[in-house]
Amino acid sequence: MPLRPGIPYPRRALRRSRALLAAVAALSVARAASASPQDVFGYGPRATALGATGAASAEGAEAAWANPALLSLARSRELTLGFQATRLALRADGPGMPGPMHAEPSEGTLVAAQLPLPLKRWLRDRIALGLAFYAPTDVLVRGRVLYPETPQFATLADRVQTFSLQAGLGVDLGRGLRVGGAISALAGIAGTVHVATDTSGAVGTKVDDQLIATFGRIVGASYDLGDAYRVGVTYRSKLEARFAVLITVRDLGFDVPEFNIAGLAQYDPWQVQGEIARVKGKTRVAVGATFKRWSSYPGAPEPTVVCPPEKPDCLALRVTSPGFHDTVVPRVGVEREVLADPRFKLLGRAGYFYEPSPAPEQKGVSNQLDNDRHALTLGWAVATLAPWPEGRFEAYFQLHKLVPRAHEKDMSEVAPGAVGAPRVETSGHVLFGGVAVTARF
């Protein structure tokens, strides 16, 4: 870029400013932030072991995510502490493809609590609160926004690494009808970076970044069908965790546009989950499905240069929609009381769900890859009873097997030698599991 006429500019400062701008450009391309782990796996040791069901069958504080109406079933105070981890093994094979795709492992802590309100008369045992959150051990939110042609798994690699919180309230209206609501929160980033020269001609920066929270709504209802069966439905609004860092450059001797380093760090589409469950007896079963509105997903990146209102058609690059489509996820979970004793009982759990990919086949230059997934879920629990201290020890596990997929490139749109042309094949698996201890008091 040429210098402005008549303005002296030290060569050393020029070199430093160019280095700084190069770093900013690198940041804007490869290092920004990419939805929540509960949308991928479910929330809580019991629900995740039962095929991520829960709209009609959730118990304890995990109902704050699955269906807040079921918090009203709480009759005692409980506190749950747990640890869980995720490992991803993803592959993309084809010309220019890396083969094994690097994906950061995720580990974090789970904390949940339920608290029935000690009300009297007709409100007794009708209202309860629930709090549930997950915190990664090394980050509050992680994600990446890459060029569309860069090989990437759009809905998996970074969606499992973010702090999340659910707080809800459930109310028993009587006659088997319950309703509830909750707030769900994710972590995001907002701030500014101001680059300018001081009176000595040296380049300096002023950074003001903030960790912010973004909120979504969860609303649920359930109805008892006699003593043994229940139906439930849960609505979860769209939940977006954005990052937005505005970089301004002034007084460097040449014009530099503002850089808008922004995008979606995490994204949960709005969804509706319906379910019917057998909730009494030694064998309990839940069957349901979740509709996810992925067609509203705008894509992770935003324009690096934002056009001013007076010139909406400036030369800034436009961000195209990834063309995601809506999906329906069928789910089933089974819990069996394996062993009963006056002092404890042993429960076995298993489940399955099928998660269709919302991403279309990548026929053009874009390589935003994704696969359908079969998810097998397993778990067990030991519940101690009086006269021992009442509580539970639980373990849970999920194996997600990606259905192999081929992307045939349209060579009329893709230049020879482009990454992935003429064919890309993707596959892999995801392992997820954890342990939790619950104390009742």
What value does the mean pLDDT of the chain take?
Answer: 85
Assigned CATH topology for domain 11-440 = Porin (2.40.160)
Which of the listed ranges 1-10, 12-21, 32-41 does the model predict with the highest average pLDDT?
32-41
The closest alpha carbon to 293, from 62, 35, 75, belongs to: 35
pLDDT at residue 306 tops 50? yes
**Is pLDDT above 50 for 309?**
yes
CB 68 within 8 A of CB 182: yes
Domain segments of the chain as ranges: 11-440
The pLDDT, as a whole number, for residue 11 is: 46
Provide the pLDDT for residue 252.
Answer: 66
pLDDT tens sequence across 357-370: 999 999 998 898 99
pLDDT digit string, tens, across residues 95-143: 999 999 988 788 999 999 999 999 998 899 999 999 998 988 876 665 5
Residue 95's pLDDT is 93
**How far apart are the C-alpha atoms of 59 and 222, rounded to whole Å?**
13
- Stretch 352-381: mean pLDDT, rounded? 95
27-67 pLDDT, tens digit each: 433 333 345 789 999 999 999 999 999 999 999 999 999 99
